[in-house]
């Protein structure tokens, strides 16, 4: 798919994630407020996301942070900086490091690797051999099979096909540049994966280059490589 330039209003958090419908989509108030305040998705990543997740964790009393079902064979590092809400399930062999927030009805499957600075909203899935760091998964988002989700945001009901990789670092380690309003915009980030609007999907073994944005309901076909802003 070719690079395109697009008006910035179409890649705001409100446009990508339908934040006016937050209650209907079960987006938690704290997360909704955070996304509205930063306005654009790349501004919600990096240190900003780390501070947000740390703040969410600290609001919850230490003895109440692990409420879900966690297998004794799962490993939680920095346990005091991890929240696992009631109704969540963490299967044997999963690895979780904080700061991480895992919402209600989330499933973290066997072999999942959650590296910290991660917010996983209600009903989302991080599956077998999927790695997630520095990212937000909105309600019902799925990274279910052999996925890499680094410094990215998956919108409501997004689905990553098996083997999808959201690459987050350029070969030359320079900042990720976006093309908005017919000009180049420096994201200020060296690590910036992909932003998937609500209900966007990827086919098996697809790859997104750093800084890719998929507008709501866009489909990336199996084995394709994406770059820039993808629209229907």
d(CA 222, CA 160): 10
Q: How far is CA 142 from CA 2, 120, 130, 164, in A?
A: 26, 10, 10, 11
d(CA 142, CA 88): 14
Contact indicator for 186, 177 with CB cutoff of 8 Å: yes
Neighbours of 232 (CB within 10 A): 9
d(CA 60, CA 79): 13
Tokens representing 103 are: 């919402």
Q: Annotated active-site positions, please?
A: 145
Among 34, 35, 11, which Cα is nearest to 216's? 11
Three-state DSSP at 26 gives: coil
Three-state DSSP at 120 gives: strand
């Amino acid at each position: 798919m070719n690079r395109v330039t697009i008006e910035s209003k179409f890649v705001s958090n409100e446009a990508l994630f339908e934040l006016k419908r937050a209650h209907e989509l079960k987006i938690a108030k704290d997360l909704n407020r955070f996304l509205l305040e930063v306005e654009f998705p790349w501004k919600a990543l990096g240190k900003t996301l780390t501070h947000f997740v740390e703040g969410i964790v600290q609001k919850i009393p230490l003895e109440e942070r692990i409420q879900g079902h966690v297998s004794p064979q799962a490993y939680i590092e920095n346990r005091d900086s991890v929240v696992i809400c009631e109704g969540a399930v963490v299967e044997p062999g999963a690895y979780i490091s904080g700061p991480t927030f895992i919402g209600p009805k989330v499933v973290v499957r066997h072999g999942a690797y959650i590296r910290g600075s991660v917010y996983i909203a209600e009903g989302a899935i991080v599956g077998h051999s999927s790695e997630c760091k520095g990212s937000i998964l909105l309600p019902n988002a799925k990274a279910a099979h052999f996925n890499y989700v680094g410094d990215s945001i998956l919108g409501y009901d997004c689905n990553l096909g098996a083997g999808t990789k959201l690459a987050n670092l350029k070969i030359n380690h320079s900042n990720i540049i976006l093309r908005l309003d017919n000009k180049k915009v420096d994201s200020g980030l060296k690590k910036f994966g992909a932003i998937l609007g609500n209900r966007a999907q990827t086919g098996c073994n697809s790859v997104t280059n750093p800084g890719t944005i998929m507008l709501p309901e866009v489909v990336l076909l199996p084995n394709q490589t994406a770059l820039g802003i993808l629209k229907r």
